C-alpha cells in the first residue's frame, strides 16, 4: 500500500478491539458535521488559532469544504 493511501484505507488503532484511547480517527466529511460544529463552537479549542470558534453551522460547512479541497487538490498556500 502506498504511503499516500494509508490513511484513506486504514485508521490508526482500528485493529485494537478494546482501546482506552481518547482519540478517534474518522473520515473527515459532512457525515460528522453536527459533531464537528458542536466541537467548533467551543472557544477553548481555538485559544491558539488565528481564528475564533464557529458561531453558525454554515461556518463549519465552509471549513469542512476548504479542508476537503486541500486534501483532494493539495495546499498551495
CA 69/CA 3 separation, integer angstroms: 20
Rounded CA gap, 31 and 34, in Å?
8
- Sign of the alpha-carbon torsion through 58, 63, 68, 74: positive
The mean predicted confidence, pLDDT, of the chain is 81
Q: Please indicate whether residue 1 or residue 30 has the higher confidence score (pLDDT).
A: 30
Q: How far apart are CA 42 and CA 36, in angstroms?
A: 10
Residue pLDDT, tens place only, 42-69: 999 888 988 899 999 999 999 999 988 9
Is there a contact between 60 and 40 (Cβ–Cβ < 8 Å)?
yes
Closest CA to 36 of 11, 62, 8, 7: 62
pTM of the predicted model as reported, rounded to 2 decimal places: 0.63
Predicted local confidence at residue 3, as pLDDT: 66
Amino acid at each position: 500500500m502506498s504511503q499516500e493511501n494509508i490513511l484513506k484505507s486504514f485508521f490508526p488503532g482500528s485493529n485494537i478491539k478494546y482501546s482506552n484511547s481518547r482519540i478517534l480517527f474518522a473520515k473527515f466529511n459532512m457525515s460528522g458535521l453536527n459533531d464537528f460544529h458542536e466541537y467548533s463552537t467551543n472557544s477553548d479549542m481555538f485559544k491558539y488559532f488565528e481564528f475564533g470558534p464557529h458561531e453558525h453551522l454554515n461556518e463549519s460547512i465552509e471549513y469542512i469544504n476548504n479542508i476537503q479541497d486541500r486534501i483532494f487538490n493539495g495546499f498551495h498556500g
